[in-house]
């Protein structure tokens, strides 16, 4: 069975969704790695996966440079020998030390190349764009600039609130990311 490693920083909702939809049937989630010891997703991971998906904490604050952190992260990932690494809410700007040594994809909450970076949802919501959506792309040296693998979108509504907009983005993420992982792993 193909193996993946998932990187996350926060609540881990996409992490949990991937585990629920893919672990044990499509692939094995070998490890979930976070850069924050207090990431809420860790508690959810242990509650939802008592069968023991391994988790690792590698805090970026304990390293002097991004490169030093990425070097250690690459070593940790390679120790699991994954077929693919999935960034699911991993809120780190990665250096070439990572991007040139790890085959990875990233989920981004906008229709790239528009609205790159951490404020993509808010920027997309406030924009005059008639359409919004999400992208899954290969991780490259350029922030949110790697080759787009797949995208999906919806038409924005005039009476939309930021809360309803975020909910629509999440709904698309929960569907598209597992589908994309499956396609990459098995060439479908």
pLDDT tens figures, 60-101:
999 999 999 999 999 999 999 999 999 999 999 999 999 999
- Domain with residue 73: its CATH number is 3.40.50.170
Contact 91, 103 (CB under 8 A): no
CA distances from 130 to 66, 87, 110, 115, 118 (A): 37, 27, 13, 14, 21
- E-assigned strand segments in 35-147: 54-57, 84-87, 104-108, 131-138
Q: What is the pLDDT of residue 53?
A: 84
d(C-alpha 168, C-alpha 188), whole Å: 26
State pTM to two decimals.
0.93
Residue 102 falls inside a structural domain: yes
Residue 11 falls inside a structural domain: yes
Residue 142 falls inside a structural domain: yes
Q: What is the pLDDT of residue 13?
A: 92
Count of the separate structural domains present in the chain? 1
Q: What is the pLDDT of residue 47?
A: 58
Degrees to nearest 5, angle at CA 164 with 163 and 170: 90
Kindly list the catalytic residues: 108
Residue 161 falls inside a structural domain: no
Residue 118 falls inside a structural domain: no
Q: What is the pLDDT of residue 187?
A: 85
Residue ranges, the chain, pLDDT below 70 = 46-52, 188
Closest among 35, 38, 118 to 69, alpha carbons compared: 35
Q: What is the pLDDT of residue 43?
A: 78
Q: What is the dihedral angle through the alpha carbons of 42, 10, 172, 133, rounded to the nearest 10 degrees?
A: -160
| Domain of 104, in residue numbers | 3-109+135-150+178-186
């Amino acid at each position: 069975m193909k193996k993946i490693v998932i990187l996350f920083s926060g609540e881990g909702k996409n992490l949990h969704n991937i585990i629920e939809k893919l672990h044990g049937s499509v692939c094995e989630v070998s490890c979930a790695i976070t850069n924050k010891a207090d990431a809420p997703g860790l508690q959810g991971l242990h509650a939802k996966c008592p069968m023991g998906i391994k988790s690792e904490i590698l805090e970026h604050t304990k390293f002097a440079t991004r490169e030093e952190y990425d070097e250690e992260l690459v070593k940790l990932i390679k120790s699991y020998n994954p077929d693919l690494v999935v960034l699911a809410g991993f809120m780190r700007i990665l250096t070439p030390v990572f991007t040139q040594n790890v085959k990875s994809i990233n989920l981004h909450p906008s229709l790239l190349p528009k609205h790159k970076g951490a404020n993509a949802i808010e920027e997309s919501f406030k924009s005059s764009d008639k359409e919004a959506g999400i992208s899954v792309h290969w991780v490259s040296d350029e922030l949110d600039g790697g080759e787009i693998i797949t995208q999906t979108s919806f038409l924005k509504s005039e009476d939309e609130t930021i809360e309803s907009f975020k909910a629509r983005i999440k709904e698309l993420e929960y569907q598209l990311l597992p589908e994309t992982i499956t396609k990459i792993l098995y060439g479908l």
